[in-house]
Amino acid sequence: MGEGAKPAHAAPQPAREEWRSISDLAQEFGVTARTLRFYEDEGLLRPVRRGTTRLYSRADRARLAWILRGRNVGFSLADIRELLDLYAPGPGRRTQLKAALAKSRERIAALEAQKADIEATIAELEQFCRRLEAEQARLAPGPAAAAGET
């Protein structure tokens, strides 16, 4: 360990924040800087600025991870924004609570269905793989070993 020189009296803050530039963050998450700026325009991220330059905190990174997971499960960016907004400020009013609860449950139901579809697709692909393997085995030792295996 011990990457680089540190000032002797270190660590006043409990969490060291470790800010990232946009290109660092992009590389870290396997996206482009364009994508991060786009997400900011869409209201999904709000990095702080030093001058005009964006700086991403740990919270921003966690948020980005959430966003990318949402994207990977098929959420639109609007969906993701809605869920993040839902998540963020514990909504005080009861009607809002009910609405948030309903939306969350809808999402959950849709995700369960999607999960079922994924499992079905995996099952079919695996069966297909087994068929291919059988075919492969049928071809290799079958025709009296025509081509040489050295």
Nearer to its own copies, 36 or 83 (CB): 83
Of the candidate spans 7-15, 30-38, 49-57, 67-75, the one that interacts with its own copies by CB under 8 A turns out to be 67-75
Cα gap 58→51, rounded to integer Å: 20
Out of 13, 52, 136, 150, the residue judged to bind its own copies by CB under 8 A: 136
Please tell me whether residue 96 binds DNA under the rule CB under 7 A: no
Rounded to whole angstroms, the Cα distance separating 33 from 22 reads: 6
Residues 62-91 vs DNA: string with x where CB under 7 A?
---------x----xxx-------------
Minimal CA–CA distance to 88: which of 112, 55, 54, 62? 62
| CA 55 to mean position of chain CA atoms | 20
Cα 36 from Cα 98, distance rounded (Å): 32
Closest by CA to 58, choosing from 67, 50, 73, 47, is: 47
Nearer to DNA, 31 or 100 (CB): 31
27 interface partner picked from its own copies, DNA, none, CB below 5 to 8 A per type: none
**Residues binding DNA (CB under 7 A):** 21-24, 31-35, 37-38, 42, 51-54, 71, 76-78
